[in-house]
Copies of this chain bind each other. A is one copy, B any other.
């Protein structure tokens, strides 16, 4: 495999803000971008050379797309793994590989994978029936969280079980979808690591960061995390193991619970650029978006070095109405995603406050 020369076309599955920021990073390196998304007039399409608007199960459109691009990557993990397998069959280079996507798409497979890598997780059990839930609760106990195995993001598809009496309501809330029961972790902080890896085993982790969620959605990222250097090293080491195990090319993120004893419990991974890595756009030599494009194009990775401390705040729904005040902050960088309607819970942009 050879580095893709500038002028090549990078195909991106998905048209949201991550695709938009990837497309911009690709353009800065001289690539053309072709977005594939079911959504008309998507945020990414408005900065891309070309767009295919089609469903992810449209075999003809996928085959055409495969023939028009030099490599395919994804901006979100819920692209059907079958779609990426179809692209591989059609001869496309696909990074990250479909197996990494498939693992990250299924919370049970993901936790099995973490444990197989020797990475601790909360106790968990698959729940495919009401009886499974009782058995799982008997083993794991309450408090616990019942989550859909697939397609959950930003706190969607989750129900808390504070006491055993909540079991019926939680099971009903998920509507009988295949689920997973996860034991509750009395964590001190939520942290995440974003790292880039190439198929030639180059590995470049960013600094560990600290995340604050609100209503299940990332609200704030503090870079670097206010933790011992030992914790940073531990997280980078675990990310390196995960990258190797998946033979991964691109950027990925692992979210951890930091426990009071300093140990890290893996919560989930994202086989893509990650919201908790947006601060890298403004505070690092190379952003996570540039690193991802470099990795999927088989270029050398750039430096992930942090140039200054930073704090990233997501602008969710109506938060974005504060754009004028945010644009006037002297040490802040405002990023807006070109979404024309500010629905509740929708990620409209983010602001990075640089600490210098």
- Residues of A with Cβ closer than 8 Å to B? 3, 5-7, 20, 23-24, 27-33, 45-49, 285-286, 294, 299-300, 302-303, 307, 320, 323-324, 327-328, 330-331, 333-338, 340, 349, 354, 356
Residues of B within 8 A of A327 (CB): 29, 294, 299-300, 302
Collect the chain B residues with CB atoms within 8 Å of residue A324's CB.
3, 299
- Are B328's CB and A300's CB within 8 A? yes
Among the listed B6, B330, B331, B338, which residue makes an inter-chain contact with A336, where contact means beta carbons less than 8 Å apart? B6
11 A-B pairs whose Cβ atoms sit less than 8 Å apart in the complex: A6-B320, A6-B349, A7-B338, A7-B340, A23-B47, A24-B24, A27-B47, A28-B336, A30-B336, A32-B338, A299-B327
Given the known interface contacts A5-B323, A6-B323, A307-B307, the answer about A27 and B338 at a Cβ–Cβ threshold of 8 Å is yes
Cα separation A15 to B24 with both chains bound (whole Å) = 16
Please tell me if the beta carbons of B47 and A24 are within 8 angstroms of each other in the complex. Answer: yes
Contact between chains at A354 and B320 (CB < 8 Å): no
Chain B residues near A303 (CB, 8 Å)? 330-331
Q: Is the CB of B49 within 8 A of A49?
A: no
Contact A20 B27 (CB under 8 A): yes
Residues of B within 8 A of A333 (CB): 285-286
Q: How far does the alpha carbon of A7 sit from the alpha carbon of B31 in the complex, in Å?
A: 25
User: How many whole Å from A316's CB to the nearest CB in chain B?
Assistant: 15
Q: How far is the CB of A310 from chain B (nearest CB, A)?
A: 12
**Pick the contact of A46 from B27, B286, B323 — CB < 8 Å?**
B27
A320 closest partner in B (C-beta): B6
B24 and A27 contacting across the interface, CB-CB below 8 Å: yes
For residue A286, which residue of chain B has the nearest CB? B333
- Between A6, A302, A335, the greatest number of chain B beta carbons within 10 A of the residue's beta carbon is seen for A6
User: CA–CA, A333 to B281, complex, Å?
Assistant: 13
Q: Are A24 and B20 in contact (CB under 8 A)?
A: no
Measured between beta carbons, the chain B residues less than 8 angstroms from A349 are 6, 30
Known: A294-B327, A323-B5, A324-B3. A336 touches B32 (CB 8 A): no
Q: Is A336 a contact partner of B24 (Cβ separation < 8 A)?
A: no
A328 surroundings in chain B (CB, below 8 A): 300
Give the distance to chain B from A200, nearest Cβ to Cβ, in Å: 13
Minimum CB–CB distance from A191 to chain B (whole Å) comes to: 27
